[in-house]
Chain A
Amino acid sequence: MAFTGGLAGFYSLRPELVMAAGLTERIRRLSIGTSAMAVLTWLTVIVGTWVVYPWYREDIPDSPRSKLLANPDTKDWHEFAMEWKEHVAWIAPMLAIGAAFLVLYYRADLIRNPLARRIAMGLFVLAFLCAVVAGLLGALITKKAPVT
């Protein structure tokens, strides 16, 4: 939902769609939204890597990683899904900060600079897609081998 709001904010930031009076409010909302998403993305990958992941990869027979690798039918969940997820997730916060920085740097100029707006929107969408891949794979892996 936050992503949809941010995307709508970027998309509608065009001179023909925004009155001068509404621009300040739109920019303020977009600045807060993209910054909050960047902070949340960083917190998510840090907690995921340093708090949840150690439980997943614990070197005991009952850990989710050990269970997945013990069964030939499920080992791809570790070798493909988890290996991809744990790395691609870290690209998302860098992209999210890039998008937030462009919004904070250009602010109202963003409406007069369609290229900067499109680049910021591209970073924002790409950050979301990386987060979706990581989140979705994480949910599917947890379903196969819950972290207990």
Chain B
Amino acid sequence: MEAARPPQTQAVPPSYQGRPEGPAAAALLATGVGSLVLAILVVIAEANESFAMSLAYSDRVGPLSGKTIWAVVAYFGSWAILAVALRGRRMNLGVVAIVAGVLLALALVGTFSPFFELFKPD
């Protein structure tokens, strides 16, 4: 007669910490970087007409074309670089979220029209 075997279970090791935070941190920080680059371009373009016109890659869209293209390049570019740099790294996601939150807050202020219009030359 076959002896009763204990049920097959897959125990979670006590040291289980879940997936590494690096890739999540890269995505979070890239969001902040892309948004902030957009805000910086908006403010500089408002302050300097010739800079704004240099961003007008499309006559129909105007300077918004360059601002958004560069913001998207900064977003995906910083994400790619950070993803490689932080791959497999364990990090404090709370601290990363605070840093990304500060970048995003600055970006939201920088893209708020009453703020960036303060830089408009008289």
**CB-contacts of B12-39 with A (<8 A):** 18-19, 23-24, 27-28, 30-31, 34-35, 38-39
B38 touching A90, Cβ below 8 Å: yes
A123 beta carbon closer than 8 Å to chain B? yes
User: How many contacting A-B pairs (Cβ < 8 A)?
Assistant: 89
Determine the distance from Cα of A95 to Cα of B35 in the docked complex, in whole angstroms.
9
What's the Cα separation between A109 and B23 when bound, in Å?
14
Contact between chains at A90 and B108 (CB < 8 Å): no
B7 to chain A, nearest CB (A): 16
Tell me the minimal C-beta distance from B5 to chain A in angstroms: 23
CB distance from B15 to the nearest CB of A (A): 14
Q: Which residues of chain B from 47 to 70 have any CB-CB distance to chain A below 8 Å in the complex?
A: 58, 60-62, 64-65, 67-68
Residue of B whose beta carbon sits closest to that of A57: B62
Query: Which B residues touch A98, using CB under 8 A?
Result: 27-28, 30-31
Chain A CB within 10 A, most for which of B64, B71, B93: B64
A81 to B38, CA, bound (A): 18
Q: How large is the interface on B (under 10, 10 to 19, 20 to 34, 35 or more residues)?
A: 35 or more
Least CB separation from A130: chain B residue: B108
The answer to whether residues A84 and B112 also contact, given A90-B68, A119-B28 and a CB cut-off of 8 A, is yes
B82 within 8 A of A: no
In-complex Cβ contact of A101 among B27, B60, B104 (8 A)? B27
B113 engages A84 (CB within 8 Å): yes
Shortest distance from the beta carbon of A101 to any chain B beta carbon, whole Å: 4
List CB contacts (< 8 Å) of B94-116 with chain A. 94, 97, 104, 107-108, 111-114, 116
Give the distance to chain B from A148, nearest Cβ to Cβ, in Å. Answer: 17
* CB contact under 8 A between A94 and B35, given known A57-B62, A87-B42: yes
CB-CB under 8 A from B61, the residues of chain A are 49-50, 53-54, 57
- In the complex, how many angstroms separate the beta carbon of A135 from the nearest chain B beta carbon? 16
User: Does A11 touch B at the CB level, under 8 Å?
Assistant: no
The residue in B23, B94, B113, B114 that gathers the most chain A C-beta atoms within 10 A of its C-beta is: B113
Q: Please indicate the chain A residues that have their CB under 8 angstroms from the CB of B39 in the complex.
A: 87
With A109-B18, A115-B93 known to touch, is A87 a contact of B111 (CB < 8 Å)?
yes
- 22 A-B contact pairs sorted by A residue (CB < 8 Å): A49-B64, A50-B61, A79-B117, A84-B111, A87-B38, A87-B111, A88-B108, A88-B112, A90-B68, A91-B35, A91-B104, A91-B108, A94-B31, A94-B34, A98-B30, A106-B24, A109-B18, A112-B18, A115-B94, A115-B97, A123-B28, A123-B31
